[in-house]
Amino acid sequence: MEELVPLLYGNITKGASTLGSAGIRVPGSAGETSEALETSRGVTIKHFACNNQEDHRTGVDARVSEQALREIYLHGFEIAVRTAAPAALMTAYNRINGVQAANNRELCAVVARDEWGCDGLIMSDWNTTVPADGSKPWRCAAAGNDVIMPGNPHDDADIRAALADVRLTETDVRACAGRLMALTRRLTAGR
């Protein structure tokens, strides 16, 4: 039975990811070509990653091994990113091994962008920077979140202060802005 569990789980994960990828590419209104769809719509997949509960989700710290993280929690996202190229990924509220998902450069920049080739937007979940124990705005940008949703009054000052004392680089900020502009151009092309 122990040998069967990873096999079953792997097939379920692959199946769910394949269905998710197909859903990302679902056509819109009748008569719309796939080319028109590709340039006029975008799908966001969420909550990236280890978001296993709704109750007290901003305070959860998912403690997970690298192997479990890769094989269980990230595998579905990987398949969806590689096969369907979603317009955006939304990070989760929770921490993963002590680091807020939205502040996790390894997760956002290294895994999603460098390893999987995600060229879409990465954004924080809504108001992730509001709670006292929430994500730090400048760390969101440094991790590769291009947009902090919805954008809170203190976020701007936090990012500017981090730029001023070089915790955050201009290169990081320009990369975030560049991805936002690229997505805007893609979604408004031909209008």
| Confidence bin at 54 (pLDDT 50/70/90) | confident
Contact (Cβ atoms closer than 8 angstroms) between residue 115 and residue 80: no
Task: Say which of 55, 61, 125, 146 is annotated catalytic.
Answer: 125
**Tokens 């400048």 — which residue?**
138
pLDDT at 170: 95
| Confidence bin at 36 (pLDDT 50/70/90) | very low
Contact (Cβ atoms closer than 8 angstroms) between residue 144 and residue 123: no
Neighbours of 23 (CB within 10 A): 12
pLDDT at 117: 95
| Confidence bin at 14 (pLDDT 50/70/90) | very low
Residue 125 designated active-site: yes
Contact (Cβ atoms closer than 8 angstroms) between residue 152 and residue 128: no
- Structural domains in the chain, sorted by start: 41-188 (3.20.20.300)
pLDDT at 190: 74
Instruction: Kindly state the tokens that stand for 127.
Output: 């108001």
Answer yes or no: pTM beyond 0.85.
Answer: no
